[in-house]
Chains A and B, each alone.
Chain A
Amino acid sequence: MTRKPMNPAPKARKGRKAGRRHPLASVALIAIGLLFTGGAYAAFSTTTASAESDANSQQTIDDGEKLFAANCATCHGLSAQGSGDGPSLIGVGAASVDFQVGTGRMPLQMQGPQALKKPVQFTEEQTAALAAYVASLAPGPAIPEGEVLDGQGDAAVGAELFRINCAMCHNVAGAGGALTEGKFAPSLADVSAVHVYEAMVTGPQNMPVFNDMNISPENKRDIITYLKYIEDNPSPGGLAIGSLGPVAEGLFIWIFGLGAIVALTVWITAKSN
């Protein structure tokens, strides 16, 4: 009992010494050092990048032209005039480039019924440079920004417009749907507001164009609001099963509903042990 107060002190001293001489101490030191230099480098490079892409300067356009020549010209032609493998990009505008490259659809992986969404191949700065270059060729729809993308419009108006103009292909809940010969309208879940807006303005792939005279920017904002609303508010009817309608629901009830009835029937008629 009397020796008790003496014990903690040597233990603590011992612990401190052991910490400094611990075999992992040097590893930790290196890790901290790497983290610090890496963080500083990242901070430095992002500040320079944002400074670079601020303006649609000649510098950005030249960068875009180089990227275009290296990555896109095989199909779209050296001056974006188009070829047998890809359409002309003169006049498609920055919005089209931002949509196609920003969702990973371009560069195309292979020819097929339609370009598929895949991991994005370029950084944001590179995409912006490509967009600036294509926009410099001829006037076209610009990348939208500001209020139209904020999702604060009228969801009810957006829903009506969506039902009339979009729902036949994209499904009333935006879950997507099939078209002809392997083409399809993709699901709109988790598509960013800017990409939805660009798709409406430019009509990528087989989607028709919805210009500002057809659906005004204000109404486009309403449609984006509606899409955001259905994404944020789960179906009040319970499990939506992908919102795909009778196919998914029928499959579910045939497999699980009928399966449960068959299983119960087998159990009821089987002899007890």
Chain B
Amino acid sequence: MAKDDNGGADTTAADSSSVARVEQSTGTSVVTRSAVGNPGFPPHRERVTDLDPKADRNAERTVYTLFYLSIAGSIFAIAAYMAFPIVPEDMGSVRLNNLFIGVGLTLALFGLGIGAVHWAKALMYAHEGVDERHEVRGTDVVRARAVEIFQQANEESGFGRRTLIRNSLFGALIAFPLPAVVLFRGLGPQDQDPVALLKTTLWEKGTRLTMDPTGVPIKASDVTLGSSFHVIPEGLIDLGHESKLAEKAKSAVLLMRLKPEQLTETPERAGWSYDGIVAYSKICTHVGCPVALYEQQTHHLLCPCHQSQFDVTNQCEVIFGPAKRALPQLPIAVDAEGYLIAQSDFTEPVGPSFWERS
């Protein structure tokens, strides 16, 4: 809404600049006189379409051609939808379908948009004008009337007088969002302590180390020097789909074999490896990405998400990046048949920090 309500009437360069130079209060500031004033509009310049009727006709032709192009694009998109249907099992057909419908729709929208802008720029009325915003504060009459309306509504509805109704209404509005809070709680684990769930995995004493995804148990002799095996606990593949994913997210393990003399082990972990074979959690202690980029010459593990690096020879201590703790080690041993088994669960929670563990 224009303050002056002149319907966008022209304001010439001369008078707009004089209007703009309104003296303003300087407040407590020292100098404002040197501030740059509003220079107003630059002098009006005629466009080539205003001066040359031939250019005018050309511009008109361009605009309607663009609109016709848009029509053609829309029709092309419909035709492409019919001519290039998506054939199940054929990924190439999806590609063609998307491509041609996309080309048609792009043409339709671009023709419309560019045509409209070109029309406005080259052919529509082009004199500069000023429409000032109306003031934020209403007139005194309007303000008084508004107060009057509120008071009248209060009286007629009895909102201020019937306090029992009013307060029960407030109560109802407060109570309404409560079911949502309860329903959201239902998305979390039920009847289980999430902290306890985060602290344990499927590994326990005697669980065989098996291959991902087949679940074939791994013999210690299978793991040759330089190998890396992607390991899941025995029995994981027999779980239902959902609990399988939830358990795998915690219990995935990377198994590597180094020369025994390359490993530096603290005395309390001396029995956790078997003949140079070590097993570490694959879940990064930073934010839980799978750390599986194993370099068999440098014995470094790299997390692809944030470039944390762990030194396998030194109990997977962090040597670079944002991870804070070493990868948890799975203590392993060999059973009577030569298969690798876990000595116990991980001795610390796997994965990133959570509230109850810093």
Contacts and interface: CB of A to CB of B under 8 A. Distances in A.
B302 A236 contact: no
A271 B228 CA distance: 65
A169 B227 contact: no
Interface in B295-340: 295-298, 300, 302, 304, 307, 309, 320
Interface stretch (B92-100, B136-144, B149-157, B174-182): B92-100
Contact of B222 (A203, A211, A268, A272): A211
A207 B296 CA distance: 6
Interface in B267-309: 290, 292-298, 300, 302, 304, 307, 309
Interface in A171-214: 177, 179-181, 183, 203, 205-211, 213-214
A179 B126 contact: no
Nearest to A168: B292
B contacts with A: majority SS: mixed
A267 B117 CA distance: 9
A70 to B, nearest CB: 27
Contact of A209 (B95, B225, B295): B225
Contacts of B199: none
B103 to A, nearest CB: 12
A23 interface: no
B300 A180 contact: yes
Interface stretch (B162-170, B211-219, B343-351): B211-219
A238 B98 contact: yes
A179 B98 contact: no
A209 B47 contact: no
Nearest to B55: A273
Contact of A208 (B47, B228, B320): B228
Counting chain B CB atoms within 10 Å of each CB, the highest count among A168, A206, A233, A272 belongs to A272
A208 B302 contact: no
Interface string A229-242: 00001111110000
Contacts of B229: 214
Q: In which size bucket is the chain A interface?
A: 20 to 34
B297 A234 contact: no
B88 to A, nearest CB: 13
Contact of B293 (A164, A169, A210, A272): A169
A208 B256 contact: yes
A142 B211 CA distance: 25
A180 B311 CA distance: 12
A65 B126 CA distance: 87
Contacts of A237: 95
A107 B43 CA distance: 74
B290 A168 contact: yes
A165 interface: yes
Contact of A236 (B92, B222, B224): B92
A125 interface: no
Contact of A205 (B121, B222, B297): B297
A181 B302 CA distance: 11
A272 B95 contact: no
A209 B226 contact: yes
Contacts of A238: 95, 98-99
Nearest to A185: B293
Contact of A180 (B122, B292, B295): B295
A206 B230 contact: no
Contacts of B99: 238
A249 interface: no
Interface in B30-89: 45, 47-49
A168 B297 contact: no
Given A164-B213, A177-B304, A206 B309 contact: no
B230 A165 contact: yes
A211 B121 CA distance: 70
A63 interface: no
A160 interface: yes
A164 B230 contact: yes
B121 A272 contact: yes
B91 interface: yes
B219 A213 contact: yes
Given A208-B227, A236-B95, A180 B298 contact: yes
Contacts of A236: 91-92, 94-95
A179 B302 contact: yes
B304 A213 contact: no
A236 B117 CA distance: 35
A235 B225 CA distance: 37
B296 A206 contact: yes
A273 B298 contact: no
Which 8 residue pairs of A and B lie closest in terms of their CB atoms, listed nearest first?
A213-B222, A206-B295, A236-B91, A208-B228, A272-B121, A209-B226, A168-B292, A208-B296
13 contacts: A168-B290, A169-B293, A180-B295, A180-B298, A203-B227, A209-B225, A209-B227, A209-B228, A213-B222, A213-B223, A214-B222, A268-B117, A272-B122
Given A169-B293, A179-B302, 11 more contacts: A168-B304, A179-B293, A180-B309, A180-B320, A203-B296, A209-B296, A210-B227, A213-B219, A214-B222, A236-B91, A272-B49
Interface of A: 160-161, 164-165, 168-169, 177, 179-181, 183, 203, 205-211, 213-214, 233-238, 267-268, 271-273
